[in-house]
Structure 1
């Protein structure tokens, strides 16, 4: 059974984790996004004119609604490691060995460990019958087939699990 986790609870976990393992104050926003479909979670740094204007951790609502608590917390902790290493001026990107070693020490999963669980929308080209799946509804209203430039038909939705980043 999947248990619901809200922003307040996630924030509590993030504050405790950051302080306990890195002695870093978690003083950035943490929000759950309805629009995030390409990732499970992300540590986002927004800049303007080479100056940081905002930092936040964003978690996918679809991911939270369709996964067990331990998976959600693992992804949250992964994003907190990004944030904490960034704050203490250590390599914090997914490809950095320092980041990977820190995850390993803390027994936290690497990027691309979990599969997406949630609603998928199925489409088919009305002319060449090309079939595909997207995590977004309304694709047929905005796009045409690359192969034959025809419109798409919406076939319906399902709960499947293709591979996805976080």
Structure 2
């Protein structure tokens, strides 16, 4: 069902690190279904690299380009960390590496996966949320814009590029 498997991700990671940093991948890359607000993270503990985690939502609903963009972002964190260079978001060297490899900076990714679409009963503005309970109990919620009732509430899914709704 997923367009990009974790095996595909690991193989791409090996190639990316080898070609761009002359480095081997020495940590696992894992799927983490609990990641909702972020699509990936590089984890290190006690100054030792631990793993890279990618969101299950990204792997299931994001297209290949979105998955690889997030993966490369996390791999740049990892590579710079291993090289002893500034590796955190906002560090000039890290941001320069993102531009060098045409990788998106932090907090620029799209929303993917199951959503609930609705319309504001007062101003007619369309919006959506990833909060599933809104779909089953819309009467308990109000819109942000006018604090009005939600109308035309329906469940939907946002897919990344190259994906079709089933």
TM-score (norm 2): 0.69
Contiguous gaps of at least 5 residues in structure 1: 123-132, 140-144, 146-154, 162-166
Supply the distance in 2 between the matched residues of 1:3 and 1:40 (Cα, whole angstroms): 15
Supply the distance in 1 between the matched residues of 2:154 and 2:87 (Cα, whole angstroms): 40
Residue of structure 2 in register with 1:39 after alignment: 38
Taking the TM superposition and a 5 Å limit, the aligned residue runs for 1:86-165 are: 86-120=81-115, 135=130, 157-159=155-157
SS in 1 for 2:85: coil
Residue of structure 2 in register with 1:20 after alignment: 19
Q: CA deviation at 1:28?
A: 0.1
Q: CA deviation at 1:135?
A: 4.2
Residue of structure 1 in register with 2:66 after alignment: 71
Mean alpha-carbon deviation: is it higher for 104-113 or for 75-84?
104-113
- Cα 1:80–1:67, aligned 2, differ >3 Å: closer, same or farther? same
Q: CA deviation at 1:52?
A: 4.0
TM-score (norm 1): 0.69
Q: CA deviation at 1:38?
A: 1.8
- Cα 1:156–1:36, aligned 2, differ >3 Å: closer, same or farther? farther
Q: CA deviation at 1:7?
A: 1.2
Taking the TM superposition and a 5 Å limit, the aligned residue runs for 1:51-66 are: 51-52=46-47, 55-66=50-61
Paired residues in the alignment total: 138
- Cα 1:109–1:138, aligned 2, differ >3 Å: closer, same or farther? same
Contact 2:61 2:158 in 1 (8 A): no
SS in 2 for 1:16: helix
SS in 2 for 1:83: helix
Supply the distance in 2 between the matched residues of 1:99 and 1:90 (Cα, whole angstroms): 8
Supply the distance in 1 between the matched residues of 2:2 and 2:33 (Cα, whole angstroms): 18
- 2:78 aligned with 1:83: yes
